[in-house]
Structure 1
Amino acid sequence: MHREGRAAPGLPRLLDAVLSVGTDLELRSTLQHIVDSAVELTGARYGALGVLDADRTRVTDLYTAGLDEAARELIGRLPDGHSGLLGALVREPRPLLVPRIRTDVRSVGFPEGHPAMDSFVGVPVRVDSQVFGNLYLTDKQDGTPFDTDDLSLLRVLAAQAGIAIGNARLYETARLREHWIEGAAAVTTALLHGTSADDALMTVADKARTLSGAAAGIVLQPTGDSGMEIVAAATGPGDDAADFLGTAIEPGSPVLDQLLGGEPVFVDDSATDDRMTTVVRSRFGPSMLLPLQSGGRLVGTLALPRRPGDPPYTGVERLLASQFASQAALAMVLADGREARERLAVFEDRDRIARDLHDLVVQRLFATEMMLESTRRRAANGASAVPGMDDLLGQAVDELDSTIQEVRTAIFALQQPPADAPTTVRGKVLRETAGAGALLGFAPSVHFEGAIDALVTEPVAKQLVAALRGALAAAHRRPGVTSVKVRVDAKAPLPDGREGVRLTVEDDGEATEGGARGTVVTWQSPL
């Protein structure tokens, strides 16, 4: 009669508890809900769910019910499952019912500040046949000890809790995988859209740090002496990435041997692991060091250290981070290939410039030479007083001067470093005209007068480039433009008599209001 009287009122509560523990897909919320449901189902005063580590030897996290924050602070450090009744359940994962805790030989008592507890019941929680943790209850609200009916109810709830935890873990894994995939896609997009080599390393480090919840994202690259050196670091608030830059792993380190061999390294505590030899290891706890490798080529190592006391990386986190590192390494290799193609394009453009020098400038010099030769012969034949002789010689001199300017411009273009942005005034002007040439469909001609780079200051250069950009944009919008001439004169006389810099942009486009064909834009400024 006693068992039937207990089962009937307990069944509705059991059904409610079984249904409620599966309503949440967030793992931490699910675990807390399980403890709360167990306490409510059995009428217990205190409850706890201890989550075990991967080796199932100690408690890594504890969810409690019946203890407020003040009580938890009095207890201090929560049990780790190495001793007492909790340790017995960890070592032997099977249901455990203890009517009187103080009389059980496995009990080791309670620490100072811990509330007094009399009876105990505990059951293992299994997920896919593996022990995930243990569910503990102590003391009933009515003062009676736990009995076999309570144990049976708790076993049913634990079985349902295992299913709910499995579902929550699957959902959490899927969500985590989605975040890592999105992060890898964002890194790939950034690297393949013109990011520089240094920015690429920082992008990988910062994104990996955010996704993994690490204290820092660090990229190391091989050095000439078979070691590795930190070349990029991304940190959270309160840390300075500059503290890590330049830190090296010396040749011969066990960690280095694994990394250079393309093997990942997983460390539970950087400060105490003998394989870690860097001077910054004492600042971190659990860490992952993942080779950035693609197609057999090792481009670096991605290190993701957490703070001391943070939870170690799970198997799922290790797998997803390794996949991210492989994807990032591939993107870095592709980005290097893109840069190589861009450098090749620059070299091809230099070949074009060289052909232009040969086909245009040299021919122009040859024609001028013929003109001067003809003049010389006429003068030698006594025709020095031929009408127009001075004009002819003047024209030849002008042609030579113009040609010299074009040669100087072409030579300067050839001297520009392929991957560097120009820092001189000449370089900035040439960059603007080259960019406009892609829109216009032809390259504007550019002439420089005077020592442009020596005379034009940086503030004036900014104004000059802005005026040039506006004039080129206007030429692009004007119909019928087939040629644009740009002239920069660093010794131009200004209206007030001083010397200054003058920019003249002339095109042959149609006037906007029916005026004559050809438009001239002039900008000038004192030096």
Structure 2
Amino acid sequence: MSGDGTPIDDIAAEPLLPALLEAVLGIGTELELRPALQHIVDTATELIGARYGALGVVDPERGRLTELFTAGLSDSDRKRIGHLPEGRGGLLGALIKDARPIRLDDLTADPRFSGSLPGHPRMRSFLGVPVQVDTVVLGSLYLAEKRSGPFTEQDQELLGVLASQAGIAIGNARLYGSTRRRERWIKGAAAVTTALLRGENAADALMTVAESARLLADAHAGVVLQPTDEGGMEIVAASTVGDPAGIVGTVIEPGSPVLVQLLGGEPVFIEDSSTDPRMTTHVRSRFGPSMMLPLQSGGKLIGTLALPRRHGGRPYSAVDRLLATQFASQAALALVLADHQHNRERLAVYEDRDRIARDLHDLVVQRLFATEMMLESTRRRAASTGLDELLGRAVDELDSTIQEVRTTIFALQQPPADAPTSVRGKVLRETDGAAVLLGFRPSVHFTGPVDTLVGEPVGRRLLAQLRGALAAAHRREGVTAIEVQVDATAELPDGRTGVRLTVRDDGLREDGARDTTLTWESPR
């Protein structure tokens, strides 16, 4: 007790209260999660007087650290350490599993200590508290090597206050992020439904689903598989960030472990496609985490939507899986509705063509034939005059016309084939697909006879560049306009004539400037 009866601990705590209040207020002013968490660990390290500090964020599904914010470690320290701990064991694992504070004068003497990573600075004193909301552990906040001696109970209480603020920040950020992702998926599904009901053919409809799902899931690829006659599944549409070469046409052979689930309409979630024994295709080595979702409606399996991320990419969360599954269900329904609508439109076209054919046959051909017979009769009666040759030519012309009309009638009675998609059409399809997520339609300008001059190999590379540029623009902030120009008569720097793709957007770049321009050129 002091002379006025105040406990010594309370006197020691008084100078820290303003700093603690300032720290809590400073945390509250951060709008972004990552800066807020870095501010928390920096504040805790400085306030308690520790040499090192760290705040780890836990993946609630996998029980391991997914991010680690540190204080006191230099860039060279980080390079020496390399891979940061995941918190599966040791003291960090104990903080996650037991969710109770740990205060140690010598962490190396604790039986839970599992050793330090190579290159890690030497540490003795240790103070760690769980970061949690209610009973859910969201991470851990810990300090090491207090400068003025061992950590105290007061240090533990102060660190607990900051950990509670970290828990609130992480919880709010995850809730906000989940809400935003849900909103994006709902808008994306509605936009895809609208796009499909505009009357695309089957191939374009599947590509629309694959492209939209890839962008919404932030996946490296979006592919659609359909059952084969042999009992397997084949990739029939693929949208990728880079070149999709070798993906379309890939077949999952009958007997593959993953095929039973897919054909049964069950979703399949994979942590790493390259190592999962259920994956047997040759393209699996390109990918890491993946979702394979059934496209089914009314008990009928249309196909499977697969959304793989890059090898070593961020795993999908439970929210990601739920939203993607709901999207796949709505996309399947939209595909069925679009197919029915397409069939109705085709039926209407057939009926109209049949009517036209009947009218041509019943009215036009009959009248032409009657006129031909009248002229033929007149020609015979006028055989002795000079009109014979003229009337003969008229009869021949009528006969030729009748044959052409009959050919037209036959063509009208045949089912119309889908016209092949041109380079111009593919460019417009890519920009239409991007408009689904951008909220506006990019403007497109063509110079020269694009479809005539741009061949298949160059056109494929041009579309890959366009797809990447549109995806990059979608990730930039504040994009309100995108201009796409395809010039098939461009003069290249080497003097040759080739094709030039230019994509401009008004988004915010990393350097703070606006307007980004991508230019790609190639000889034809």
- Shift of the 393–86 alpha-carbon distance from structure 1 to 2, 3 Å rule, reads closer
Give the corresponding residue for 2:224: 219
The answer on whether the counterparts of 1:350 and 1:414 sit within 8 Å (CA) in structure 2 is yes
Code of the aligned partner of 2:256: S
The answer on whether the counterparts of 2:372 and 2:399 sit within 8 Å (CA) in structure 1 is no
Instruction: Tell me the CA shift for residue 259 of structure 1.
Output: 1.5
Name the SS for the 2:303 alignment partner: strand
Give the corresponding residue for 2:255: 252
Give the corresponding residue for 2:190: 185
**Taking structure 2 as the reference length, what is the TM-score of the superposition?**
0.72
Instruction: Tell me the CA shift for residue 125 of structure 1.
Output: 1.0
Give the corresponding residue for 1:265: 268
Q: What is the CA deviation profile of residues 82-115 of structure 1, one whole-angstrom value per residue up to 9, with x for unaligned ones? A: 3332232233210111123233333344233211
Give the corresponding residue for 1:97: 103
Report the Cα distance in structure 1 between the residues aligned to 2:344 and 2:176, rounded to whole angstroms. 43
Instruction: Tell me the CA shift for residue 205 of structure 1.
Output: 1.9
Instruction: Tell me the CA shift for residue 418 of structure 1.
Output: 4.2
Task: Identify which of 141, 166, 170 aligns with 1:165.
Answer: 170
Alignment of 1:4-43 (within 5 A): 4-43=10-49
Give the corresponding residue for 1:203: 208
- Shift of the 104–374 alpha-carbon distance from structure 1 to 2, 3 Å rule, reads closer
The answer on whether the counterparts of 2:369 and 2:402 sit within 8 Å (CA) in structure 1 is no
- Shift of the 128–180 alpha-carbon distance from structure 1 to 2, 3 Å rule, reads farther
Please, which runs of 5 or more residues in structure 2 have no aligned partner? 1-6, 423-450, 453-524
Q: What is the CA deviation profile of residues 460-505 of structure 1, one whole-angstrom value per residue up to 9, with x for unaligned ones? A: xxxxxxxxxxxxxxxxxxxxxxxxxxxxxxxxxxxxxxxxxxxxxx
Name the SS for the 1:362 alignment partner: helix
Give the corresponding residue for 2:418: 419
User: For this pair of structures, how many residues does the alignment match?
Assistant: 418
The answer to whether structure 1 residue 343 and structure 2 residue 346 are counterparts is yes
The answer to whether structure 1 residue 281 and structure 2 residue 284 are counterparts is yes
Code of the aligned partner of 2:18: P
Give the corresponding residue for 1:85: 91
Q: What is the CA deviation profile of residues 355-396 of structure 1, one whole-angstrom value per residue up to 9, with x for unaligned ones? A: 1223322331453265257648x84xxx86689777766655
The answer on whether the counterparts of 1:27 and 1:172 sit within 8 Å (CA) in structure 2 is no
Code of the aligned partner of 2:222: G
Give the corresponding residue for 1:295: 298
Report the Cα distance in structure 2 between the residues aligned to 1:304 and 1:144, rounded to whole angstroms. 53
Q: What is the CA deviation profile of residues 62-97 of structure 1, one whole-angstrom value per residue up to 9, with x for unaligned ones? A: 221222322111112212223332232233210111
Report the Cα distance in structure 1 between the residues aligned to 2:107 and 2:366, rounded to whole angstroms. 106
- Shift of the 384–266 alpha-carbon distance from structure 1 to 2, 3 Å rule, reads closer
Q: What is the CA deviation profile of residues 235-268 of structure 1, one whole-angstrom value per residue up to 9, with x for unaligned ones? A: 223xx31222222222233321112222111111
Instruction: Tell me the CA shift for residue 149 of structure 1.
Output: 0.4
Higher relative contact order (CA 8 A, sep 6+): 2
| Greater alpha carbon shift after TM alignment, 105-114 vs 386-395 | 386-395
Give the corresponding residue for 2:461: none
Instruction: Tell me the CA shift for residue 232 of structure 1.
Output: 1.8
Name the SS for the 2:111 alignment partner: coil
The answer to whether structure 1 residue 308 and structure 2 residue 311 are counterparts is yes
Code of the aligned partner of 1:202: M
The answer on whether the counterparts of 2:60 and 2:137 sit within 8 Å (CA) in structure 1 is no
Name the SS for the 2:245 alignment partner: helix
- Shift of the 178–30 alpha-carbon distance from structure 1 to 2, 3 Å rule, reads farther
Report the Cα distance in structure 1 between the residues aligned to 2:400 and 2:65, rounded to whole angstroms. 86
Q: What is the CA deviation profile of residues 312-349 of structure 1, one whole-angstrom value per residue up to 9, with x for unaligned ones? A: 11111111111221222222222222321232122112
Code of the aligned partner of 1:104: D
Instruction: Tell me the CA shift for residue 128 of structure 1.
Output: 4.3
The answer to whether structure 1 residue 231 and structure 2 residue 236 are counterparts is yes
Q: What is the CA deviation profile of residues 187-226 of structure 1, one whole-angstrom value per residue up to 9, with x for unaligned ones? A: 2333223433222222222222222222222211111122
The answer on whether the counterparts of 1:343 and 1:419 sit within 8 Å (CA) in structure 2 is no
Report the Cα distance in structure 1 between the residues aligned to 2:372 and 2:118, rounded to whole angstroms. 106
Give the corresponding residue for 2:364: 361
- Shift of the 55–394 alpha-carbon distance from structure 1 to 2, 3 Å rule, reads closer
Code of the aligned partner of 1:26: E
Give the corresponding residue for 1:525: none
- Shift of the 412–260 alpha-carbon distance from structure 1 to 2, 3 Å rule, reads closer
The answer on whether the counterparts of 2:268 and 2:293 sit within 8 Å (CA) in structure 1 is yes
Task: Identify which of 63, 69, 81 aligns with 2:75.
Answer: 69
Please, which runs of 5 or more residues in structure 1 have no aligned partner? 424-457, 460-527
- In angstroms, what is the RMSD of aligned CA positions? 2.9
Code of the aligned partner of 2:110: D
Code of the aligned partner of 2:195: A
- Shift of the 422–86 alpha-carbon distance from structure 1 to 2, 3 Å rule, reads closer
- Shift of the 245–384 alpha-carbon distance from structure 1 to 2, 3 Å rule, reads closer
- Shift of the 284–370 alpha-carbon distance from structure 1 to 2, 3 Å rule, reads closer
Give the corresponding residue for 2:441: none
Report the Cα distance in structure 2 between the residues aligned to 1:371 and 1:66, rounded to whole angstroms. 106
The answer on whether the counterparts of 1:264 and 1:288 sit within 8 Å (CA) in structure 2 is yes
The answer on whether the counterparts of 1:233 and 1:242 sit within 8 Å (CA) in structure 2 is no
Alignment of 1:364-513 (within 5 A): 364-368=367-371, 371-372=374-375, 375=378, 379=381, 398-415=397-414, 417-420=416-419
| Greater alpha carbon shift after TM alignment, 109-118 vs 311-320 | 109-118
Give the corresponding residue for 2:470: none
Instruction: Tell me the CA shift for residue 285 of structure 1.
Output: 1.9
